Amino acid sequence: MSTRDASREQMCPSLSELRIASAQRFASSERQHFAPGEMLFEIGARDNAAWLVTGGSMELVRRSPLGDEVPLATLGRGLLSGEVA
C-alpha cells in the first residue's frame, strides 16, 4: 500500500452512518437525486454546492484539451464533493 493510499482516509474521510444522518439535518435543501452522467457543476462556476453522497456514487472528471473526459476520482457513500472552484 502506498503512502498516498494510506493517507487517503485522513485526506478524504468517509462519514459514518450516524454522521450522515446528523449532516442531513443541517442540509440547505432537500435530498436530491441525479441521473447517471448528469453534470452537477463545472470548473470555474461560482456558488457551487458541496454534495454529500448518500447513495450511489459521484464521478469527478475533467476535460482534456482534446475534449475527452479524464477520470479524477469516484466518491461513494459518506464522502463530500468539496471545493472545486
CB 78 within 8 A of CB 21: no
Q: Tell me 60's DSSP state.
A: E
Asked whether the whole model's pTM tops 0.75, one would answer no
Segment 48-65 mean pLDDT: 88
Report the C-alpha gap between 37 and 59 in whole angstroms: 9
Q: What is the mean pLDDT of the chain?
A: 83
Q: What is the pLDDT of residues 39-54, one digit of tens each?
A: 888 777 787 788 899 9
Q: Kindly state the DSSP code that residue 83 receives in the 8-state scheme.
A: -
Locate 75 and state its grid cell.
466518491
CA 37/CA 55 separation, integer angstroms: 15
Q: 37 and 48 in contact (C-beta within 8 Å)?
A: no
